[in-house]
Structure 1
Amino acid sequence: MNRCPTTSFTRTLLAGCAAVLLWTALPTAAQVQPGLGVTRNFPPSALRGVLTIDTVAQATLNNRPIRLAPGMRLFSPQNTLVMAHSVIGQTFKVNYVIENSTGMLLTAWILTEKEAAQPRKGSDAVHFNFRTESANK
């Protein structure tokens, strides 16, 4: 005995709802959207550079390899967190902070065009922890 007869309309409705839920739950392609006009304040120690995420533990910053700190945070132009695995292979203009004790990339903010146009100190200069006679001249 079937006490809950299902009609074709009910089946179609349930299938349609399931399709909509599945479609909205699927991850979209990792794309970083432009900023929403929100002004972000960066720490004074943040530098400017070009960042390419190579793997979840390795990146290229200003054409030099750099390790990502275990707690590395990458912020989108909307100031939301971006998971490193979702942007592997992509290159961004960023402001960034490097951890002093380890030299690993600690935080990076993907910049909007407006933020990128503002001048900020970059890290293109080579810094040494020793002096030579030629550096003193």
Structure 2
Amino acid sequence: MNRCSSAFIAGTFAALLIALPLSAQAQSGTRDFPAKALRGTLVVVQPPNITMDDRETRLSPGARIYNTNNSLVMSSSLLNKALVVNYTVDLRDQIQNVWILTEAEAKEKRAGFGVQRNYVFESLQPKPAASTN
């Protein structure tokens, strides 16, 4: 009998030690994101097709989207919603992990992929100098 109760106490103590860091992280309200995570605005068009900062891309196979409570969210539940997120990109330039941000997390500065264009409008091109013949 004595062995049983000491094993129960040891098991309970081990469970508390495991749960303590998890509850502390949930109470702090901030999450640790990978250093390589970028900031962007996500819009799910038709899963797995998305736009990230007005750039069409895709979610990678097995992509994970976390809500503000770090619970997994299905991409189909986010159709046509513009969300401020942190995200990571895989080797094929597809979105691998997405974290939907709280207002406090969105205020923190982080690098973003940004909108890139590979064209220049004709009206923005430099004008040739007028010839004086």
TM-score grouping bracket, smaller chain normalisation: 0.5 to 0.7
Which amino acid in 2 is paired with 1:40?
Answer: R
Give the equivalent residue in structure 1 for 2:102: 112
Give the equivalent residue in structure 2 for 1:83: 74
Tell me the TM-score normalized by structure 1: 0.63
How far 1:45 moved relative to its partner? Answer: 0.2
Runs of 4+ residues deviating >6 angstroms: none
Q: Is contact 2:50–2:57 with CA below 8 Å preserved after alignment?
A: yes
Q: How many residues are treated as equivalent by the alignment?
A: 93
Deviations 1:50-69 (A, max 9, x none): 00011111000000100110
Specify every segment of 5 or more residues in structure 1 that has no aligned partner in the other structure, as ranges. Answer: 1-34, 129-137
* Distance (whole Å) between structure 2 residues aligned to residue 69 and residue 52 of structure 1: 15
* Distance (whole Å) between structure 2 residues aligned to residue 90 and residue 37 of structure 1: 27
Q: 1:75 to 1:55 in 2, by over 3 A?
A: same
Counterpart check, 1:67 vs 2:38: no
* Distance (whole Å) between structure 1 residues aligned to residue 117 and residue 36 of structure 2: 15
* Distance (whole Å) between structure 2 residues aligned to residue 79 and residue 65 of structure 1: 25
Give the equivalent residue in structure 2 for 1:44: 35
Give the equivalent residue in structure 1 for 2:111: 121
Q: 1:40 to 1:63 in 2, by over 3 A?
A: same
Structure number with higher helix proportion: 2
Q: Is contact 1:49–1:93 with CA below 8 Å preserved after alignment?
A: yes
Tell me the TM-score normalized by structure 2: 0.64
CA-atom RMSD in angstroms? 2.0
